[in-house]
Amino acid sequence: MNEVSYFAQSAFPLVWIVIAVVGALIRTRHSPSRAAALETWQRWWAVAALGCGSLWMTIAFLTIPDVMATAIGFDRTPFQFEIAFANLGLAVMGFRAASATARERITIGLGAGMFLWGAAIGHVYQWFAHGDHAPGNTGGVLVCDLLFPAVMIVLALRSQQLTNSGRPTLAPAARAATRTT
């Protein structure tokens, strides 16, 4: 494999991050508030990065499993079918996050993180233990595995902070009284 081909294959997953960032930047140019801009960023990240990125992986693993196996640096395995449907679950969660609350987005980010951060650990292990430098094992896929859930969580936490900072704080006695009513 020549260097240009290797770089293109390795960097391709980053296209979902670029689409999310560019889309959010364009849509928030004239945003009326920080909260509105943050909501736009969350939606673009959820749909473009997590949703479409995971849907692409689903389609790729189902339709071109031999190519995907080669890209990862493995022989074809039945587990690729399972990886396809795990990614479909992530895609559904990403699309759901577009209209979710901040709390739901945090949960979606954590759920995605359990799979993707585990995959990232596997990629790094294969990289160092077995010298697997295949374009689908290191590079862009590793960055996406780390950033898709992390950015979703950070954006949702920031949204939750903005929402909470806009509410008047009640004294502990007042909070206790409102819970009993």
* Tens-digit pLDDT profile for residues 22-81: 999 999 999 999 999 999 999 999 999 999 999 999 999 999 999 999 999 989 998 999
Report the distance separating Cα 57 and Cα 43, nearest Å.
20
What is the structure's pLDDT at 168? 52
CB–CB of 102/163 below 8 Å? yes
> Three-state SS for 79?
helix
Report the distance separating Cα 114 and Cα 105, nearest Å.
14
Report the distance separating Cα 83 and Cα 15, nearest Å.
20
The answer on pLDDT for 179 being more than 70 is no
What is the structure's pLDDT at 46? 98
Confidence of residue 5 (pLDDT cuts 50, 70, 90): confident
Q: How much of the chain, in percent, has pLDDT values that exceed 90?
A: 81
The answer on pLDDT for 173 being more than 60 is no
